[in-house]
Amino acid sequence: MTCLNDSNAFVLPVRVYYEDTDAGGVVYHANYLKFMERARTEWLRTLGFEQDTLAQELNIVFVVGSLDIQYRKPARFNDTLNITASISDLGRASMVFKQSIWRDSSNNSPELLTTASVKVVCVSMGTFRAITIPKQIRELLQ
């Protein structure tokens, strides 16, 4: 499990808006996946890679191959969340992210809401088949 204090984890702060919730003010289950996607995208951006540039210049995209998610506690309207992302396994054409969602609380003790393991695969834009992660990206991931 990724800890909020893990120095290797990328952390993206997110505010829960009304549009993220259901009628009861609880974050809709699919929106946790959107928050995690944003964290992975922003992490890649901090490494110097834009996904549209990777598609145009290297003819690759990263797609979710599988995921395992555990919902522990609900996030609610107007919560401030921290979404973490760190790589737990780097393969030839894929990487596995350990991700978590934490709620900021008033007593400064973050509350774990959700954990997930997300396998992301590097695929060719032309065939959508798995290909080796390009060297310039792999070097930054190791």
State the DSSP H helix or E strand holding residue 30, giving kind and residue range, or none if neither.
helix 29-46
Q: Are 141 and 133 in contact (CB under 8 A)?
A: yes
Domains of the chain: 10-141 (3.10.129.10)
**pLDDT at residue number 2:** 39
CA 131 vs. chain centroid, Å, equals 21
Calpha distance 96→115 (Å, rounded): 13
Average pLDDT by stretches of 10, the chain with 142 residues: 61 97 95 98 93 94 97 97 97 98 85 98 96 93 84
Enzyme catalytic residues: 22
Two tokens, residue 34: 């959107």
C-alpha closest to that of 64 among 114, 27, 117, 12: 117
